[in-house]
Structure 1
């Protein structure tokens, strides 16, 4: 995968959940149109703006020295995360050595930025939580107080995790308090920061082993009025499901059916269990395969060129006298470099089949070159998955353009 593709992938995954679809798409569209690397969020104009606001908070602040250190000789070769850390380290040289005083400066800095119209969702400022993580780790009370302010301005779930590891239940108790906070981003910090398997972050092995201590946060926020908080609850539960599926099944049983909003959250929380065809989870969400028959499964393109599509079709019929809920997926077995096949599951749809209804499906799978997957010629396979049950796979062959034309 190219470095640019990695940056886009990281951006989409990390920031869509934090700031919502609109913000993510706007930033991604800017990246695609301008072909401007995300690391260039940190540039001379950004540091000039930052220096103005630091000067307002630090009377003896030397703007010229600050800019000189920020835009050092090796600055251009630094990547996004390196520039973020570099910003934190340089700023630290101008901050009070006493962390309680530095924390007060951070609060003043956010107030100054906010007054200037730089508001929540400013991803460039994620170096601020990192500052707390690095320089405040030995100052618990001061750090959690300022983190509560900072996370309302820029996401802090990565920074909170070293505190969970060092302080254990003391930090978890604080996060339970945060789950009751009036600001939705503080509530989100409680659930996103406590995810056992938060992507791109330090793992929390104790919660992977036994997540029971995290559950009070999730119980409180499963019906939160803000969608990104509820999605964070779902993501936390989905993490838990990978190590402790029964915990998530029991949680789902407790809340399923209480409201459509909660049901959507729970279904998103159970997405891994549904993909794994966990019988208890399928039953909870009403998927019933009794008297459902799969027929006429055919691969319509036995030979597929690179850049073209594989096509397949099938039918499902409800032979019962009552409506049935079904979940349709297909498994694509890609040829790997070593000659083995690697399966990836794609969702087709979820729907109700009325009594004796016949539903016909035709699908295409693109084999255009993409940066996230290397395609190899040779035998591939496709299978149909109905309510978690996989039916026998059928073969087709992927070839380079010149092979098929001979």
Structure 2
């Protein structure tokens, strides 16, 4: 049996083949472009660099080989943009703006407005927010009304307080109020791409100012399907924590009136890479229909012998009086880049509307 091939590392987006593609396409657009020098600079010590280091080195290599005039360089990159044909690789265009456009605000804003259609400018715009917050945010508020979904998403994604792979915007971590006009403009956006960003933006805020999010989305029209989707995904962290206000906003009926007839994890002992099965059976003890948000939590054993709790979504159901429901889910226990497993007893909780109603577990052997 042939072993499955591992997915290529993300940094290979900027491998020698892709960098050669950059060089050829740019030379075709700008005949004076020194493609050989660009490749020499862009591939210097390449194997030792991570994805973001490669991204930056490529942008620096463009600066060394494009015209020294910033506006002239942008014209070439703007012509190059449609020929890159890769969303993440195209982020190099916005990285160039972040590195060399700080003193050319208007030109840079127009460039990011254009480049984000090919590869998001979410990382680049944050440098402008850090340097001139009010002026940059005013531009982004206008972008929230743009006809292009990529530009609208940039307004939300670029102003997230805690954007992954970027630095935190400390001003917004402490006080998220300035981005309210952006979120209000996009709260029922027709694009799922944009709605995901708005939900993630709000979820960022819940980590530092949960009450601000509850207050804001509490006034939104939950009859609008797009808005309801955003709210549900924005509150995911609070819902996993069993926050009563967050659960109420997504329609949970509060304290669950149920009894757990059965909850078990099988098999009781597994090895890394094997699968566990969770089975639960609950019955309503209420006099009226209940909306229940059902999760489960695994307490992963850490190297030091302590445990780290991770909550997973199981199901959302409506349960009639005296009705019962059976719940089943399986999960392979394997290592990820973000989680390394350790041997020992792993406790598992059944959580309904934020309350732990039953426990079980399994023993992991490596």
TM-score, length-normalised on structure 1? 0.82
Residue of structure 2 equivalent to 1:292: 258
Asked whether 1:399 is paired with 2:365, we answer yes
Change (3 A) 1:282 1:365: same
Change (3 A) 1:258 1:313: closer
Residue of structure 2 equivalent to 1:209: 174
CA contact (8 A) 1:311 1:364 kept: yes
Q: Select 1:53's aligned residue among 10, 18, 25.
A: 25
Give unpaired runs (5+ residues) of structure 1: 1-31, 401-406
Residue of structure 2 equivalent to 1:149: 114
Asked whether 1:358 is paired with 2:324, we answer yes
CA contact (8 A) 1:179 1:190 kept: yes
Residue of structure 2 equivalent to 1:105: 76
In the alignment, the residues of structure 2 paired with residue 299 and residue 109 of structure 1 have an alpha-carbon distance, to the nearest angstrom, of: 55
Q: Select 1:320's aligned residue among 271, 286, 299.
A: 286
Residue of structure 2 equivalent to 1:39: 11
Change (3 A) 1:311 1:104: closer
Give unpaired runs (5+ residues) of structure 2: none
Residue of structure 1 equivalent to 2:41: 69
Change (3 A) 1:227 1:332: same
Query: Aligned Cα RMSD in Å?
Result: 2.3
Residue of structure 2 equivalent to 1:227: 192
Change (3 A) 1:286 1:37: closer
1:338-392 Cα deviation digits (max 9, x unpaired): 1112211111111111221011234444334555432222222111101111135
What is the correspondence of 1:381-400 to structure 2 with a 5 Å cutoff? 381-391=347-357, 393-400=359-366
Residue of structure 2 equivalent to 1:91: 62
In the alignment, the residues of structure 2 paired with residue 211 and residue 291 of structure 1 have an alpha-carbon distance, to the nearest angstrom, of: 37
Change (3 A) 1:396 1:57: closer
How many residues end up aligned between the 2 structures?
Answer: 362
In the alignment, the residues of structure 1 paired with residue 40 and residue 308 of structure 2 have an alpha-carbon distance, to the nearest angstrom, of: 51
CA contact (8 A) 1:299 1:313 kept: yes
Task: Give the secondary structure class of the aligned counterpart of 1:382.
Answer: strand
